[in-house]
Amino acid sequence: MSLTVDEIAQVVQEIAPLLLGGRVQKVYQPHSEAISLETRTQGKTLTVYLSADPETARLHLLSKKPLNPPTPPPFCQLLRAHLEGARIERIEQVADDRIVRLDMQRDGKSVTLIAELTGRTANVILLDEAGTVRGQLRKGRSKPGEPYAPPVAKAPHPHSLPASGARGNFSPSPGLPVARGTSCSSIATGHQQRAMGEGQDEGEHPISAALERRFQERDDARARHRQIESIKVGLRRTLKRAVKRIEALEADLAKAERYRDYNRYGELLKPHLGEIQKGAASIKVPDYFDPALPEIVLPLDPAKSPQGNLDDYFRKYKKYQNAQKEIRPRLQAAQADAATLRERLAALDRGEEVLAPPPSPSPSAGRGTRVTGMRKSSKPQAKPFLRFISEAGDAILVGRNSRENEELTFGLARSHDLWLHASGAPGSHVVLRLEKGAELRNESLLDAATLALHYSDLRKSGQGEVLYAYRKHVHKPRAAKPGLVTVTQDKRLFLKLDRKRLTRLKESHGGENK
């Protein structure tokens, strides 16, 4: 939940003495609902975080710089133009409400940043010296060019007190370093002592540290979601281009396909060039390539000579040959690219493609860093593949992404192992480990097929067809992307997803695959 009135009051009491007189060095917009101000004050660099997230609207200091997009959004650019270099003159909570006002001076002119930490209607608003709205983080009731008016005060917030009320009666939310009947300064001291006992040094601003810790897990989850969505947007854009390329290549190939028989037509026309009348649009000739010698009609261009028509047939057949040599490989490569993109999108939807957690920038790290793709985590690597045990005791391995699918099928699986995959849908490669010469047990086949169905796009419908073949009949096309295969001598099995069977399989290795 967002900060309460009293929590905001405590944060303001903590950060105001640290920031007053400081200058804004840089403004960032980590995402669409938050602003951070990098300030230089009292010989230190402090980062102030203002979030207008409807669920977690808040204000506090950060212990580390947030990750930021390489290109600042429009509102961030506006703030940079008006706030960078500004001196912080005053920070105050407005009328015991969930509104904080930061008054600054830049080039002799006043500029104000309003943080409305009001939950669903939260916003960050920039005002000029006349109190006119210059811009806002989120679209809201304020309009650029109009005088700013604070939101209409409603009934007191559940945790708020009247302006004359005693702060000692405040009951803090979990996670805030506040004790009943304690002033802000003694709160900080008490929390530092507790933090030191836990092996953590909260430094000079324990309230901000506690708030940062309280919201960290939620922020990480939202950052991961934004990262995944950003990657998916890029993948969809690339897939759209790949599909258009496939359509264009297919059209070119279909056009060239019309000339498949033109070499034969040219050979049939060659002995009859002397029979072609001037201006003829066609000629009947016997088909020497057919034992029955049927007559066929060859179309001609009336404007061309007999030799010109003959040359046309061979030239167009050459187009067909060139298309087979040049267009078809490009088409296959484009189709492979599209299949890989669809598989990656499906893996992201299933939560199977692991993303690296956003790195913590060091003090010397460059600004404007953003995670834009997949990266290996710096944490100890998890075991490759998902591993299960069938009811009959056979091992079943499942790839989690294109790279693992490739490694599983062509690196680990033996020729006599059984390979399975959802038919006609993106999904994981599944390998059922078999002893050489051993009989395929039906329960093991059903277990492996259930996993192939579950770890594919077919699990959305809860049923579908799974193809299976021995690994020796699974091949990788030349220049194909990781995970793409061709299968011969395969069999098909249609099944519905058996939840009990799936639960047993997920528990077969102590739940590590859940």
pLDDT digits (tens, 9 = 90+) for 312-333: 878 887 877 777 777 777 788 8
Give the lowest-confidence range in 163-167, 370-374, 427-431. Answer: 163-167
Contacts of 428 (CB under 8 A, 6+ apart): 352, 386, 398, 399, 400, 405, 421, 451, 452, 455, 456
What's the rounded Cα separation, in Å, for the pair 402 and 414?
A: 19
Helix (H) or strand (E) holding 246: helix 206-257
Closest residue by Cα to residue 397 from 379, 384, 382: 384
Q: Give the residue-averaged pLDDT of 405-430.
A: 92
Predicted structure pTM score: 0.47
pLDDT digits (tens, 9 = 90+) for 190-243: 444 333 333 334 567 899 999 999 888 887 787 788 778 888 888 899 899 889
**Tokens representing 239?**
């897939």
pLDDT digits (tens, 9 = 90+) for 330-382: 788 888 888 888 888 888 887 765 454 443 333 333 333 333 344 444 444 44
What residue type is 436 in one-letter code? K
> What topology does CATH give the domain 5-219?
ibrinogen binding protein from staphylococcus aureus fold (2.30.310)
Task: Return the pLDDT at 418.
Answer: 96
Task: Return the pLDDT at 319.
Answer: 76
Name the β-bridge partners of 495. 464
Q: Provide the pLDDT confidence category of residue 156 given band limits of 50, 70 and 90.
A: low
Q: C-alpha distances in angstroms, 458 versus 222, 428, 449? A: 27, 11, 12
Supply the DSSP string of 270-304, one letter for each residue. Answer: GGGGGGPPTT-SEEEEE-TTSTT--EEEEE--TTS
Phi, psi of 124, deg, nearest 5: -125, 125
Sign of the CA dihedral 321, 326, 327, 329? positive
Q: Give the residue-averaged pLDDT of 111-137.
A: 95
**Tokens representing 473?**
């009949």
Q: Provide the pLDDT confidence category of residue 301 given band limits of 50, 70 and 90.
A: confident
- With a cut of 80, say whether residue 143 has pLDDT above it: yes
What residue type is 331 in one-letter code? L
Task: Return the pLDDT at 361.
Answer: 37
Task: Return the pLDDT at 167.
Answer: 36
Q: Provide the pLDDT confidence category of residue 60 given band limits of 50, 70 and 90.
A: very high
- Name the average pLDDT for the chain: 80
Closest residue by Cα to residue 399 from 350, 436, 437: 350
Q: C-alpha distances in angstroms, 140 versus 37, 124, 362, 508? A: 22, 10, 36, 53
Give the lowest-confidence range in 14-18, 105-109, 314-318. Answer: 314-318
What's the rounded Cα separation, in Å, for the pair 219 and 247?
A: 42
What's the rounded Cα separation, in Å, for the pair 401 and 344?
A: 7
Residue 395: strand, helix, or coil: strand
Task: Return the pLDDT at 171.
Answer: 32
The 8-class DSSP code of residue 237 comes to H
Q: Give the residue-averaged pLDDT of 117-143.
A: 93
Domain segments of the chain as ranges: 5-219, 258-350, 386-506
Radius of gyration over every alpha carbon of the chain, rounded to an integer in angstroms: 35
